[in-house]
Amino acid sequence: MSRNNLYRLLKHLTFGKTCKYFDMLSRIKNNKILIVKKDGKIKEIKKVKGLTIKFLGQNSVVKIHEPYRFINCYFEVGDDNIIEIKQTNFYIKDLIIPARMSRYSKLLIDSDCSVEGAKIWLHDEPERIVKIGKDCMLSFDITIWPSDGHAIIDDKGDAINKPKNIMIGNHVWVGTQCLILKGANIPDGSILGARTLYTSASNPKNSKKPYIFCGQPAKVLKSGNFIWDRNNTYYFNKKDYK
């Protein structure tokens, strides 16, 4: 039986549902998972330990730098996406990235970051960028979302809640159950306390110094003249900071 005859038979027997599934599969192509080795060489692979990648479109790249330590992570990748995660000796756990309707969108997680549990939504709108800087520490149940997911329309028929990119600086500590929304630009060295709601309105005028943010919406509790350490107060070495 020819392919066309098989297609017509399946369409008749399944009322077109099976053929729609095959049509969807036929457009999943030209996607790559790339590993950047410690010596800089790049190798294409099929699977990454601790990470499930489901391609749903075409021409997308997931690039991961060695070393990496994924646990229970899941990415859904649409058309023309780039997801890049640089090298880290820390664990990246329970990281979920839906990116189904996000053509030409990019996510960069820079080097030496750790994640205990986060969902980064690139799903809703195209041409979005989410960037997480070096040595960031993300706790549990964090949501990062560069769009609202649904349109708000004014009396002129215009959408008034367009998406915006999200930039998280270097050495930022994001506490448990934080929500980071479109337009966020979090300065280097900052801390977001547990359950903080950070929006574009939370962005400080002076982005050259670190801040401690807390609340819904985020408010500044402290600015400048501090740093934070991954160790707790018992184990950190005071001599390192003199």
pLDDT in tens, 132-156: 999 999 999 999 999 998 999 999 9
Beta bridge partners of residue 18, listed in sequence order: none
- Asked if omega into 217 is within 30° of 0 (cis), the reply is yes
Residue pLDDT, tens place only, 148-207: 989 999 999 999 999 999 999 999 999 999 999 999 999 999 999 999 999 999 999 998
Q: Which pLDDT score is estimated for 183?
A: 97
Average pLDDT on 20-25 reads: 48
Provide the 3-class DSSP secondary structure of residue 81.
Answer: coil
CA angle 170, 211, 119 (to 5 degrees): 55
Residue scoring higher pLDDT (238 or 122): 122
186 CB burial (10 A radius; 0-12, 13-18, 19+): buried
Q: Which of 196, 187, 198, 189 is nearest to 226 (CA)?
A: 189
| pLDDT value, residue 19 | 47
CA-to-CA distance for 7 and 11, rounded, in angstroms?
A: 6
Beta-sheet strands, E only, within 46-164: 51-55, 61-65, 70-71, 73-77, 82-85, 92-93, 95-99, 106-109, 114-115, 118-120, 129-132, 137-138, 142-145
Q: Would you kindly state where each structural domain of the chain is located, as residue ranges? A: 1-30, 32-241
Is a pLDDT exceeding 90 seen at residue 85?
A: yes
How many residues does the structure list for the chain? Answer: 242
- At residue 21, the pLDDT reads 43
The Cα 119–Cα 240 span in angstroms is: 34
Chain-centroid distance of CA 135 in Å reads: 15
Q: Please, which residues have CB within 8 angstroms of residue 16's CB and are 6 or more apart in sequence?
A: none
Question: Taking the domain 32-241, which CATH number applies?
Answer: 2.160.10.10
Confidence of residue 22 (pLDDT cuts 50, 70, 90): very low
